[in-house]
């Protein structure tokens, strides 16, 4: 069940996109999500689409992965598109029934929203597919650093983030083990009505919580024994390197914005 | 040889309301470069004892000296620099997201510059033969490999003392042997003091000295030969017998006279072939 989720999956590789500094990638994809709202003509969407396709091709990851990323969200996308199509008024009316009207603007808006969704999903999937979770957490820590001025606990948050990421597979394994152990004792997961289903989760959830508490205690002891004494006076083993290609990425995105603005109506 | 750990009349109670303290009036001295094993049944206070040595637990009474420093709130972090600990559960003590990050974690805490860390991480991983796994995540390692990484993390800190708090108890026999062999090698190279807390009788057999704990007290101490020759008494303490002792008991049951003193596996083989030939 967990294998289907493509969000947050990382595919190791050595393409140019893989080698980019995670900070550049993170900033660029957030920037892209913001900037895509500038587009409002079919030319600009075509331009944005080609740009995204170019990025995807550079990553050397097959398109299938990205399409699979879209799949779990397809109903949400179609629902939003339908709302836009049938409830936007203006332009030539093609068809009308009760409160639903299909108009020229409605169709156009629907198509734009569809494109916007797909482009955003492609870009964010590109980020997670080409960046190791650890690199992402390093990037987030770096980008949050200015918040230190406001006494925001940047070190603690990033430590929590990296420990959380490190324990995801461990806890997944454990969940699987507990589920199988409870199945062996006769618990039916995913059977019956909603109430029964929820009740079946209890024998999974409680042991998982208890073991997480024990893990946390063990981990805290081990960290203390290894001299962990808060964020003060620590050095860092991992280092992020900003190269020319990272600056270039930012430049490319700036040029992309100019293009979008020019193609606007 | 000078003493590196010195405990005087340590008493520790987890919960003031419980009648029996986890440790009562424990005194012991460990010399520099010694390998000491502490054995005892579950709940005999072995792990508690280990945690008092680097101040993870503070005893209610008694004094602790580590490397000529009296342990107190002020120098606790200096003492932790001297004492490296490897715990029982390989998963729960793996802090880093990859092998190299985990090895570096302790050094990051001590504020060691990055260039130095790179050298020491490579060196420590080489020593535990985990260099090829440098960028692996913990989820893709076996239990024994994770424990070797934990040892590397300790070794990179260059401590004077390594405490193995049942570090091999969750491993399969193969992983156990690997871990013990690694510790043995490192100990010889850098004159470490090793304190191993264990159920595993074979691990205890590597020690220079064995301490036996029962209900929070040290009840016996001596060389492994001396402790193991007590035979059935070990079973009473909830411990297993070493294999040569089991063999001796089985031979005795079949009416074959056996020597009373403890023999290692090799000694047992020697004794067996000489006694067969002398017949």
DSSP chain B: --EEEEEEEEEE-SSTTSSS-SEEEEEEEEETT-EEEEEE-TTSSHHHHHHHHTTSS--SEEEEEETTEE--TTTHHHHHHHEEEE-S-TTTT--SSSHHHHHHHHHHHTT--HHHHHHHHHHHHHHTT-GGGTT--GGGS-HHHHHHHHHHHHHTT--SEEEEESTTTTS-HHHHHHHHHHHHHHHHHHT-EEEEEES-HHHHHTSSEEEEEETTEEEEEE-HHHHHTTTHHHHHTT-PPPHHHHHHHHHHHTT----SS---HHHHHHHHHHHHHH-
* pLDDT value of position A98: 75
Nearest to B101 by CA among B118, B87, B113, B83: B118
* pLDDT value of position B106: 92
For residue B156, give the chain A residue with the closest CA.
A226
By the CB < 8 Å criterion, does B113 face chain A? Answer: yes
Q: What is the pLDDT of residues A144-195, one digit of tens each?
A: 989 989 989 988 888 898 888 888 888 988 999 999 999 999 888 877 888 8
Per the rule left: phi > 0, alpha: psi between -120 and 50, beta: everything else, B153 is: alpha
Cα dihedral A73, A76, A82, A87 sign:
negative
For residue A135, give the chain B residue with the closest CA.
B97
Q: What is the DSSP letter of A103?
A: E
Distance from CA of B188 to the nearest CA of A (A): 23
Residue A1, pLDDT above cutoff 50:
no
Residue given tokens 């969407």 in the structure block: A45
H-helix or E-strand spanning residue A27: helix A22-35
Closest CB to A162 among B56, B97, B118: B97
> Predicted confidence band at A263 (pLDDT cuts at 50, 70, 90)?
confident
Q: How far apart (Å, rounded) are the C-alpha atoms in residues A159 and A164?
A: 8
By the CB < 8 Å criterion, does B153 face chain A? Answer: yes
* pLDDT value of position A205: 93
Task: Answer whether B248's CB lies under 8 Å from B258's CB.
Answer: yes
Residue A3, pLDDT above cutoff 50:
no
* pLDDT value of position A222: 92
Query: Do the strands B209-214 and B217-222 form a parallel or antiparallel pair, or are they unpaired?
Result: antiparallel
Distance from CA of B110 to the nearest CA of A (A): 6
> Predicted confidence band at A8 (pLDDT cuts at 50, 70, 90)?
low
Contact flag A166-B117 (C-beta cutoff 8 Å) = no
* Single pTM value for the model: 0.81
Contact flag A222-B80 (C-beta cutoff 8 Å) = no
> Predicted confidence band at A106 (pLDDT cuts at 50, 70, 90)?
confident
Burial A205-239 (b: 16+ CB within 10 A, else e): eebbeebeeebeebbebbbbbbbbeeeeebeebbe
Nearest to A22 by CA among A263, A265, A244, A240: A240
Average pLDDT, chain A: 86
Integer CA distances (angstroms), B265 to A22, B202, B235, in order: 56, 11, 19
- Contact residues on chain B for A235, CB-CB shorter than 8 A: 107-108, 111-114, 117
Distance from CA of A12 to the nearest CA of B (A): 12
* pLDDT value of position A4: 44
Nearest to B155 by CA among B192, B130, B205: B192
Contact flag B98-A169 (C-beta cutoff 8 Å) = no
* pLDDT value of position A40: 84
Closest CB to B95 among A134, A163, A173: A163
* pLDDT value of position B279: 67
Q: Is A179 exposed, middle or buried (0-12, 13-18, 19+ CB in 10 A)?
A: middle
Closest CB to B92 among A219, A224, A237: A219
- Contact residues on chain A for B97, CB-CB shorter than 8 A: 133-134, 162, 165-166
Q: Is A175 exposed, middle or buried (0-12, 13-18, 19+ CB in 10 A)?
A: middle
Q: Which residue out of A227, A229, A241 would a mutagenesis test of the B interface target, given it has the greatest number of B Cβ atoms within 10 Å?
A: A227
Q: What is the pLDDT of residues A48-58, one digit of tens each?
A: 999 999 999 99
H-helix or E-strand spanning residue A84: helix A74-87
Q: Which domains does chain B have, with CATH numbers?
A: 32-42+80-240 (3.40.50.300), 242-279 (no CATH)
Distance from CA of A145 to the nearest CA of B (A): 18
For residue B57, give the chain A residue with the closest CA.
A221
Tell me what the mean pLDDT of segment A195-209 comes to.
90
Residue B70: strand pairing partners:
B65
Contact flag A235-B139 (C-beta cutoff 8 Å) = no
User: Phi/psi at A109 (nearest 5 deg)?
Assistant: -60, -45
Contact flag B111-A166 (C-beta cutoff 8 Å) = no
* pLDDT value of position A135: 85
- Contact residues on chain A for B118, CB-CB shorter than 8 A: 237
By the CB < 8 Å criterion, does A240 face chain B? Answer: no
Q: How far apart (Å, rounded) are the C-alpha atoms in residues B45 and B60?
A: 15
Task: Answer whether A29's CB lies under 8 Å from A96's CB.
Answer: no
Q: What count of other Cβ atoms lies within 10 Å of the Cβ of residue A122?
A: 21
Contact flag A229-B109 (C-beta cutoff 8 Å) = yes
Contact flag A219-B93 (C-beta cutoff 8 Å) = yes
Q: How far apart (Å, rounded) are the C-alpha atoms in residues B7 and B27?
A: 5
Residue given tokens 């992309």 in the structure block: A256
Closest CB to A234 among B77, B81, B108: B108
Closest CB to B77 among A134, A227, A237: A227
* pLDDT value of position A215: 94
Contact flag B100-A228 (C-beta cutoff 8 Å) = no
Tell me what percent of the residues of chain A surpass a pLDDT of 70: 96
Per the rule left: phi > 0, alpha: psi between -120 and 50, beta: everything else, B36 is: beta
The residues in A 144-203 lying below 8 A from B, measured between CB atoms, are 162-163, 165-166, 169-170, 173
Tokens of A119: 């482009």
Tens of pLDDT, residue by residue, chain B (279 residues): 577 888 888 888 887 777 778 888 888 899 998 999 998 888 888 888 988 988 888 888 888 888 888 888 888 888 888 999 999 999 999 998 889 999 999 999 999 999 999 999 999 999 888 999 988 888 888 888 999 999 999 999 999 999 999 888 888 888 888 888 888 888 888 889 999 998 877 788 888 999 988 888 888 888 888 888 776 777 777 777 778 888 888 888 898 888 877 777 788 888 888 888 876
Residue given tokens 């297993």 in the structure block: B240
Distance from CA of A214 to the nearest CA of B (A): 9
Q: How far apart (Å, rounded) are the C-alpha atoms in residues B167 and B265?
A: 24
């Amino acid at each position: 069940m967990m294998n289907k989720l493509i969000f947050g999956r990382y595919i190791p590789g050595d393409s140019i996109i893989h080698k980019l500094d995670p900070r550049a990638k993170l900033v660029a994809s957030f920037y892209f999500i913001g900037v895509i709202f500038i587009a409002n003509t079919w030319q600009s969407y075509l331009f944005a689409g080609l740009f995204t396709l170019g990025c995807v091709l550079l990553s050397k990851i097959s398109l299938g992965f990205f399409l699979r990323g879209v799949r779990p969200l397809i109903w949400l996308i179609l629902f939003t598109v339908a709302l836009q199509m049938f409830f936007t008024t203006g332009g030539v009316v093609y068809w009308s029934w009760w409160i639903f009207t299909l108009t020229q603007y409605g169709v156009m808006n629907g198509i734009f929203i569809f494109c916007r969704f797909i482009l955003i999903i492609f870009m964010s999937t590109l980020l997670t597919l080409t960046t190791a979770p650890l690199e992402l957490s390093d990037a987030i820590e770096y980008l949050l650093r200015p918040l230190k001025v406001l006494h925001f606990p940047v070190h603690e948050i990033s430590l929590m983030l990296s420990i959380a990421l490190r324990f995801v597979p461990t806890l997944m394994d454990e969940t699987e083990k507990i589920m199988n152990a409870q199945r062996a004792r006769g618990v039916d997961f995913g059977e019956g009505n909603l109430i029964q289903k929820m009740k079946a989760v209890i024998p999974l959830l409680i042991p998982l919580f208890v073991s997480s508490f024990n893990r946390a205690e063990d981990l805290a002891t081990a960290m203390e024994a290894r001299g962990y004494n808060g964020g003060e006076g620590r050095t860092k083993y991992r280092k992020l390197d900003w190269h020319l290609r990272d600056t270039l990425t930012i430049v490319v995105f700036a040029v992309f914005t100019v293009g979008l603005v020019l193609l606007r109506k | 040889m000078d003493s590196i750990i010195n405990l005087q009349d340590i008493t520790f109670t987890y919960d003031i309301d419980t009648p029996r303290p986890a440790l009562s009036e424990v005194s012991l001295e460990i010399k520099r470069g010694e390998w000491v094993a502490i054995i005892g049944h579950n709940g005999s206070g072995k792990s508690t004892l280990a945690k008092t040595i680097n101040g993870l637990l503070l005893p209610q009474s008694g004094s602790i000296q580590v490397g000529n420093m009296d342990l107190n709130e002020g120098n606790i972090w200096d003492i932790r620099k001297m004492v490296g600990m490897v715990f029982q559960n390989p998963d729960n003590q793996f802090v880093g997201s990859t092998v190299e990050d985990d090895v570096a974690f302790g050094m990051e805490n001590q504020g060691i510059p990055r260039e130095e860390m790179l050298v020491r991480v490579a060196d420590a991983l080489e020593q535990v033969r985990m260099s090829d796994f440098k960028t692996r995540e913990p989820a893709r390692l076996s239990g024994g490999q994770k424990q070797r990484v934990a040892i590397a993390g300790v070794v990179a800190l260059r401590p004077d003392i390594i405490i193995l708090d049942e570090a091999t108890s969750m491993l399969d026999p193969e992983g156990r042997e690997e871990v013990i062999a690694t510790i043995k090698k490192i100990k010889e190279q850098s004159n470490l003091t090793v304190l191993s807390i264990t159920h595993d009788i074979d691990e205890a057999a590597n020690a220079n000295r064995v301490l036996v704990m029962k209900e929070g007290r040290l009840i016996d101490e001596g060389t492994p030969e001396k402790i193991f020759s007590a035979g059935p008494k070990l079973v009473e303490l909830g411990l297993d017998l070493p294999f040569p002792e089991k063999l001796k008991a089985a031979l005795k049951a079949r009416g074959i006279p056996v020597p009373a003193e403890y023999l290692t596996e090799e000694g047992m083989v020697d004794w067996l072939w000489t006694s067969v030939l002398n017949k």
